[in-house]
Copies of this chain bind each other. A is one copy, B any other.
Amino acid sequence: MDNDIVISSRIRLARNLKNYKFATKINQEEAYKIIDEVKKVIENIDFTSKLEFELHYLKDIPDIEQNILIEQHIISPQLAKNKDKSAFMISKDKNITIMLNEEDHIRLQVLNSGLKLEECLKTANEIDDILEENLDYAFDKDLGYVTSCPTNLGTGMRASAMLHLPALSVTNQLEKILLAISQIGVAVRGVYGEGTKSMGNLYQISNQGTLGAEEETLCGRIRQITMQIIEKESATRQHLLDNNRIYIENEIYRAYGILKNARIIDTQESMKLLSIIKMGIEMGILEGMDNKNIDKLMIKVQANNIQMMLNEGFTKKERNLKRAEILRNEI
A residues neighboring B (CB under 8 Å): 246-247, 249-250, 253-254, 256-264, 321, 324
What is the CA–CA distance of A321 and B246 in the complex, to the nearest angstrom?
A: 9
Nearest-neighbor residue (CB-CB) of A317 within chain B: B246
What is the CA–CA distance of A300 and B264 in the complex, to the nearest angstrom?
A: 31
Copies in the complex: 2
What is the CA–CA distance of A253 and B260 in the complex, to the nearest angstrom?
A: 9
In the assembled complex, the CB of A328 is this many whole angstroms from the nearest CB of chain B, namely: 9
In the assembled complex, the CB of A306 is this many whole angstroms from the nearest CB of chain B, namely: 16
Nearest-neighbor residue (CB-CB) of A247 within chain B: B264
Residues in B with CB closer than 8 Å to A250 are 262-264, 324
What is the CA–CA distance of A321 and B245 in the complex, to the nearest angstrom?
A: 12
What is the CA–CA distance of A263 and B246 in the complex, to the nearest angstrom?
A: 7
Residues in B with CB closer than 8 Å to A256 are 257, 261
In the assembled complex, the CB of A256 is this many whole angstroms from the nearest CB of chain B, namely: 6
Residues in B with CB closer than 8 Å to A260 are 257, 261
Main secondary structure of the interface of A (DSSP, over half): helix
What is the CA–CA distance of A190 and B90 in the complex, to the nearest angstrom?
A: 64
Residues in B with CB closer than 8 Å to A324 are 250
Residues in B with CB closer than 8 Å to A259 are 257
* 8 CB < 8 A contacts A-B: A246-B264, A246-B321, A250-B262, A250-B263, A253-B261, A254-B261, A254-B262, A257-B257
List 12 extra interface pairs beyond A250-B263, A250-B324, CB under 8 A: A246-B264, A250-B262, A250-B264, A253-B261, A253-B262, A253-B263, A254-B261, A254-B262, A254-B263, A256-B261, A257-B260, A258-B258
What is the CA–CA distance of A211 and B261 in the complex, to the nearest angstrom?
A: 52
Most buried by B among A246, A259, A321: A246
Residues in B with CB closer than 8 Å to A253 are 261-263
What is the CA–CA distance of A136 and B246 in the complex, to the nearest angstrom?
A: 60
Nearest-neighbor residue (CB-CB) of A265 within chain B: B250
What is the CA–CA distance of A264 and B244 in the complex, to the nearest angstrom?
A: 12
Nearest-neighbor residue (CB-CB) of A263 within chain B: B250
Nearest-neighbor residue (CB-CB) of A262 within chain B: B254
Query: Do the beta carbons of A254 and B258 come within 8 Å of each other?
Result: yes
Nearest-neighbor residue (CB-CB) of A250 within chain B: B263
Residues in B with CB closer than 8 Å to A262 are 250, 253-254, 257
Nearest-neighbor residue (CB-CB) of A259 within chain B: B257
What is the CA–CA distance of A254 and B264 in the complex, to the nearest angstrom?
A: 9
